[in-house]
Amino acid sequence: MSRPLAGPQSLLRTLNGRAILEALARSGPQTRAELMAATGLSRTAVTQVLRMLDNAGAVAAAGLDRDTRGPAAGRVGLHPRLGFAAAVHVDHQAAHVVLVDASGAVRAEQHAAFPLGGDRVAHIAALVDSCRGAGKAPVHLAVVGVPGIVTADGGIRDDLGPDGGAFRSALADTLGCPVRVENDVNLAALAELTSGSGGELASFALLLLDDGLGAGIVLDGALHRGFSGVAGEVMYLPQTPLPIGAPVINDAVVGDLALGLGRDTEASLLEHLEAAGRGEATAAELVAEIGRRIVLVAGTVGLVVDPEAFILGGDATHPVLVDAIQRVAAEYAPQLPLRFLVSSFGPEAPLVGAVGEAASGLRATLFTRILTPESTKRPMTSRQSAP
Q: Which of 229, 200, 230, 204 is nearest to 217 (CA)?
A: 204
- The confidence score (pLDDT) of residue 72 equals 57
- The confidence score (pLDDT) of residue 65 equals 62
Q: Which domains does the chain have, with CATH numbers?
A: 9-78 (1.10.10.10), 84-186+349-376 (3.30.420.40), 199-343 (3.30.420.40)
Handedness of CA 159, 163, 167, 172 (dihedral sign): positive
Q: Which of 24, 23, 120, 31 is nearest to 72 (CA)?
A: 31
Strand 161-162, strand 156-158: pairing:
antiparallel
- The confidence score (pLDDT) of residue 150 equals 92
Is residue 220 within 8 Å of 201, Cβ to Cβ?
A: no
- The confidence score (pLDDT) of residue 374 equals 59
Integer-rounded Cα radius of gyration of the chain = 25
Q: Which residues of the chain have pLDDT under 70?
A: 1-9, 65-72, 134-135, 373-387
- The confidence score (pLDDT) of residue 382 equals 39
Is residue 181 within 8 Å of 150, Cβ to Cβ?
A: yes
* Residues, the chain: 387
- The confidence score (pLDDT) of residue 66 equals 60
Which tens digits make up the pLDDT trace of 83-135?
899 999 999 889 999 999 988 889 999 999 999 888 999 999 999 999 988 66
In DSSP terms, 61 is beta-bridged to: 76
In DSSP terms, 313 is beta-bridged to: 208
Q: How far apart, in Å, are the Cα atoms of 123 and each of 27, 86, 113, 134?
A: 34, 14, 9, 18
- Residue 140 Cα to chain centre, angstroms: 17
- The confidence score (pLDDT) of residue 68 equals 59
Is residue 100 within 8 Å of 106, Cβ to Cβ?
A: yes
- The confidence score (pLDDT) of residue 383 equals 36
- The confidence score (pLDDT) of residue 385 equals 40
Is residue 29 within 8 Å of 67, Cβ to Cβ?
A: no
| Residue at 382: amino acid letter | S
